[in-house]
Amino acid sequence: MWTQGREGIGCSVTWDKGQGSSQRRYPASRRRAPEVWGPLSEDVRRTLELLLAGDAEVARVYRAQIPHVRMKPGCTCGCPTVDLRVDQDAVSAGPVVEGSPVVADGSIQGVDGEYIGEAMIFAFGGYLSTLEVCVWDDLGVLELPLWERLSV
């Protein structure tokens, strides 16, 4: 279930394994305290560029926002999800995608090439908002950097 809040997207990932629902949890050692907005890490920048590659108008317009984005951890569960904030005075808004705030996505592969999750870029009001990363424990462990694990 995806919810929009004041700080962006929040994840509450559940799935049904045929024996009831399970919820994705990260160990306490991976949980982060809220931090201040800072520049994009190389991993996040490369991930955004890879997910927004191509000549489609949506990709080009949102890719142009990357140099004007700041980030902070986006989830307290410890996943690598980050909230994004675009300097709206420095760059134009992108098109609003009807029906879904997801403007780009890709599969995440484990070290052996197996599917272990998804990475999605959300935008609201024409501006990049969140890089959401969901990795399923029972399918594998995410080895960073994220951009090296993407299949788009």
Question: Measured between alpha carbons, how far is 117 from 95 in angstroms, rounded to an integer?
Answer: 27
The first and second tokens of residue 77, run together, are: 């569960």
Q: Is the pTM of this model over 0.85?
A: no
Residues belonging to the chain: 152
Question: Measured between alpha carbons, how far is 103 from 28 in angstroms, rounded to an integer?
Answer: 31
Per-residue pLDDT tens over the stretch 41-99:
999 999 999 999 999 999 999 999 999 999 999 887 777 899 999 999 999 999 987 78
Per-residue pLDDT tens over the stretch 16-40:
333 333 334 443 444 454 568 999 9
Question: Measured between alpha carbons, how far is 32 from 78 in angstroms, rounded to an integer?
Answer: 6
